[in-house]
Amino acid sequence: MNEIILTLFNGISLGSILLLIALGLAITFGLMNVINMAHGELIMVGAYITYVIQTIFMNYAPPEYFDLYFIISIPVALIVAAGIGMLLEVSLIRHLYKRPLDSLLATWGVGLILQQTARSIFGAPNVGVTSPSFLTGGLEVGSLILPYSRLFILGLSIVCLFSIFYYFYRTASGRRVRAVMQNRQMAECLGVSTRKVDMLTFAIGSGFAGVAGCALTLLGAIGPTIGTSYIIDAFMVVVVGGVGALFGAVSGAFGIGILNTIFEYVTNATLGKVLIFIVIIAFLQWRPSGLVMSRSRSLD
């Protein structure tokens, strides 16, 4: 029973990590139909922002305030990554809407530039980030120990999810974003500034990528290619959940996370990854639109 509970917790934990990574992609790819291959590098930006703030606190702050570095890193990573995303949208992406292959190649090139910039500044070897003291250890549940870091990532992903939901469905600005995504011409006729909406939406998606990078520092060392190892899984989550469906990303993330953990437990890590790809391919053959299909009214 303990093994079953631990396997389920590991699956939920992996799903929360995938959800946190895929939330930004669900906005840029799912809602804006922009294939942003630099999403992984925006995750890297958030991770290195955390490392820089940790170094500043380590060198200049009193030891008793060291743990505050991680709390400060989350909003700073969001703002910096959002700023880079906004600059990317204004200078490049705005010219490539409705040109998916061009946007794929262009953002892939931007990703390589960001990787090389990180190597030039921080070096090629991975660097470590020390977890704050309140996230070390774990919660004892019977004979099981659930790591605080994993529980924190699960809570952070839930907070980010509800923040996005509140913005898109409970604010005037979010309703304008959804209006533009559903019917751009009609939104323009009603006076919505679609250029501002595009820029703001891409910045929001990029900002949440930075938050994901900050959270990933709790799991191990970081390097210039940290985002590359997660970008394929993030696209899988968005496609399986349903392009344009926010809560489809939730279903896809936790479904993939739990199945992947079960397959790895029954077989091994390599074969488990192969099996999850086979299941996803078979699922998309049966349901190409994903778990949740977005619906909109249109005039034919």
- The predicted pLDDT at position 273 comes to 84
Burial (Cβ within 10 Å: 0-12, 13-18, ≥19) of residue 76? middle
Give the residue from 117, 94, 124, 116 showing the smallest Cα distance to 34: 94
Checking if the pLDDT of 299 tops 60, the result is no
**Secondary element (H or E) of residue 208:** helix 194-216
- Write the pLDDT tens digit of every residue in 192-215: 888 888 899 899 999 999 999 999
At residue 296 the predicted structure's pLDDT band, cuts being 50, 70 and 90, is low
- The predicted pLDDT at position 108 comes to 92
Q: How far apart are the C-alpha atoms of 50 and 80, rounded to whole Å?
A: 11
Q: Distance of CA 26 to CAs 3, 238, 254, 273, Å? A: 33, 6, 15, 22
Checking if the pLDDT of 294 tops 70, the result is no
Checking if the pLDDT of 295 tops 70, the result is no
At residue 298 the predicted structure's pLDDT band, cuts being 50, 70 and 90, is very low
- The predicted pLDDT at position 235 comes to 86
Most confident of 36-40, 183-187, 232-236: 36-40
Q: How far apart are the C-alpha atoms of 282 and 103, rounded to whole Å?
A: 28
- Write the pLDDT tens digit of every residue in 92-111: 988 888 788 888 899 999 99
Checking if the pLDDT of 85 tops 90, the result is yes
Average pLDDT, the chain: 87
Q: Could you tell me which residue, 268 or 119, shows the higher pLDDT?
A: 119
Q: How far apart are the C-alpha atoms of 145 and 3, rounded to whole Å?
A: 12
Q: How far apart are the C-alpha atoms of 260 and 280, rounded to whole Å?
A: 11
- The predicted pLDDT at position 300 comes to 40
Q: Could you tell me which residue, 246 or 13, shows the higher pLDDT?
A: 13
Q: How far apart are the C-alpha atoms of 61 and 82, rounded to whole Å?
A: 27
233 touches 21 (CB < 8 A): yes
Mean pLDDT check: name the lowest of 27-36, 133-142, 262-271: 27-36
**Secondary element (H or E) of residue 146:** strand 144-147
